Amino acid sequence: MHAPSAPATALAAATPKLPFYRQLYFQVVFAIVVGVLLGYFEPAYGAAMKPLGDAFIKLIKMIIAPVIFLTIVTGIAGMSHLGSVSRVFGKAMAYFLTFSTLALVVGMVVANVFQPGAGMNINPADLDQSAVKGYVAKSHDMSLTGFALDIIPKTLISPFVGDNILQVLLVAVLFGVSLAMSGEAGKPVLAFLEALTKPVFKLVNIIMKAAPIGAFGAMAYTIGKFGLGSLVNLAELVLTFYITSAIFVLVVLGAVARLCGFSVLKLIRYLKEELLLVLGTSSSESALPSLMDKMEKAGCKKSVVGLVVPTGYSFNLDGTNIYMTLAALFIAQATNTDLSLGQQIMLLLVAMLSSKGAAGVTGAGFITLAATLAVVPEVPVAGMALILGVDRFMSECRSLTNFIGNAVATVVVSRWENGVDMQRLHATLNGQATATAPAAAASIVLADKKV
């Protein structure tokens, strides 16, 4: 255990603590509770609040591209050896592939052990297939080849007006490498981008002040539209999914975190504001800019954060992977579709590929499930109508698990790269340096040098 440094402790002690009602996490919790009450007692008014949640997510999406671009470009351009870029990316992908596959396996094992769909005896012909036609149509665009080609943007600037995170990532990496190779000629451009980073993250802070409004609107709509009763219909599936995800986070990710010298519970506590935001909006993307900022402040190297977090949002979706195998086997059990071990393994392999194209936005898991079932004809796609009513509630758990998985991955890959200040990480996770901004950290270093 590393003890926090004296300057960090002194700074944390000197920073005045905001009253609880002015802290973002309390405001988001309050907004979620009010949204649930409005949606329950006045469903029509609750459903009408949907534009508030949609508007906030659009505001977040507006700032994601510049945040990713600036973080990655300045991080790569500041690296002394460009070979470290490919090394970080390789380690991140190895981590993503390992734990994404493990999440799929966990979902499959739990579905076979607890069999939440057994005994429903649903005839697929009796289901309303029109309810899932839109999702099936969207899933046709999620082939592996189409996904790979879609990473390449039409122009250099088109990623900044689209919503494909990986396109922004590709352009940022290429530009960062070219800037690093430009030597002295590239330094003025790098200085400009580093200066631009500060107001962009200040804009993120301004937008985050609207988080309670967005969480209120999204939650009021969810309860008003689907009702609390919709949870009862498939309570066993929902409960199984939530418990499985919790076990995956606390046991699997918790063990990885412990091996790397930090506590996943303390990391969750550190990110409580972002997790509440994800809960309220059912979108892990809504907290992406704030996650990158907090991981850097916690001591993770900027260049590693810039590469791992955006890439993880497409390649490290632990919650989505658990959901896919669990939901697919639930549908098979509910419709009395017997799957052999070989067919289940085929389902897992298809899900492993199709899940890589899912983004951390609401509904992506359901679309990816449709893409998976379309390739595995044994499981009726029409069975998705069974879980459509509760998918919104499961989306919240998917997003939370995805978000925590990417936060853990960032620290782990940073540790593998010797790119994390463990003393600062422990101080931050223990609540002794959370208010320390990079500028303040620099002042601490100067103060140490003076002493």
CATH number for the domain harbouring residue 45: 1.10.3860.10
Cα dihedral sign, 368-231-280-268: negative
Q: What does the pLDDT average to over 2-29? A: 57
Please indicate, yes or no, if residue 321 is contained in any of the structural domains. yes
Residue 424: per-residue pLDDT: 92
Distances (CA, A) of 283 to 195, 227, 287, 340: 30, 20, 8, 34
Q: Which residues contact 150 (CB under 8 A, 6 or more apart)?
A: 164, 166, 167
Residue 390: per-residue pLDDT: 66
Higher pLDDT, 319 or 389: 319
Please indicate, yes or no, if residue 444 is contained in any of the structural domains. no
Residue 331: per-residue pLDDT: 85
Tell me the pLDDT band of 144, cut-offs 50, 70 and 90.
Answer: low
Query: Each residue of 18-59: pLDDT tens digit?
Result: 676 777 777 878 888 888 888 888 888 888 888 888 888 788
Range list of β-strands (E), 263-412: none
Residue 362: per-residue pLDDT: 47
* Token digits of residue 361: 């936005």
Q: What does the pLDDT average to over 408-412? A: 94
The rounded mean pLDDT for the chain is: 77
Query: Each residue of 299-316: pLDDT tens digit?
Result: 998 888 888 888 887 778
pTM of the model: 0.70
According to the per-residue pLDDT averaged within each range, which of 66-70, 98-102, 342-346, 379-383 is highest?
98-102
Higher pLDDT, 148 or 238: 238
Higher pLDDT, 444 or 394: 394
Query: Each residue of 78-129: pLDDT tens digit?
Result: 665 666 777 888 888 899 889 989 999 999 999 899 888 777 676 766 555 5
Please indicate, yes or no, if residue 413 is contained in any of the structural domains. yes
Range of the domain at 166: 18-420
C-alpha–C-alpha distance, residues 55 and 53, integer Å:
5
Residue 450: per-residue pLDDT: 31
Q: Which residues contact 439 (CB under 8 A, 6 or more apart)?
A: none
Higher pLDDT, 355 or 26: 26
User: How far separated are the first and last CA of the chain, in Å rounded?
Assistant: 25
Residue 106: per-residue pLDDT: 92
Q: What is the tally of structural domains in the chain?
A: 1
Residue 408: per-residue pLDDT: 95
What percent of the chain clears pLDDT 70, i.e. is strictly above it? Answer: 76
Please indicate, yes or no, if residue 240 is contained in any of the structural domains. yes
Cα dihedral sign, 11-16-17-23: negative
Please indicate, yes or no, if residue 247 is contained in any of the structural domains. yes
Q: What does the pLDDT average to over 388-402? A: 79
Please indicate, yes or no, if residue 226 is contained in any of the structural domains. yes
Q: Which residues contact 294 (CB under 8 A, 6 or more apart)?
A: 270, 271, 274
Residue 355: per-residue pLDDT: 66
Please indicate, yes or no, if residue 77 is contained in any of the structural domains. yes
Query: Each residue of 156-205: pLDDT tens digit?
Result: 888 887 767 778 878 888 888 888 888 788 888 888 988 998 888 888 88
CA 362 to chain centre: 11
Task: Compute the radius of gyration of the chain from its Cα atoms.
Answer: 22
Residue 124: per-residue pLDDT: 67
Q: What does the pLDDT average to over 389-414? A: 86
Q: Which residue, chain included where needed, has tokens 């036609």? A: 133
Residue 407: per-residue pLDDT: 94
pLDDT greater than 50 at residue 4? no
Residue 230: per-residue pLDDT: 47
pLDDT greater than 60 at residue 143? no
Residue 159: per-residue pLDDT: 82
Tell me the pLDDT band of 336, cut-offs 50, 70 and 90.
Answer: confident
Query: Each residue of 236-287: pLDDT tens digit?
Result: 788 899 999 999 999 999 999 999 999 999 999 999 888 888 887 777 777 8
Which three-class secondary structure state does DSSP give residue 420? strand
Please indicate, yes or no, if residue 215 is contained in any of the structural domains. yes
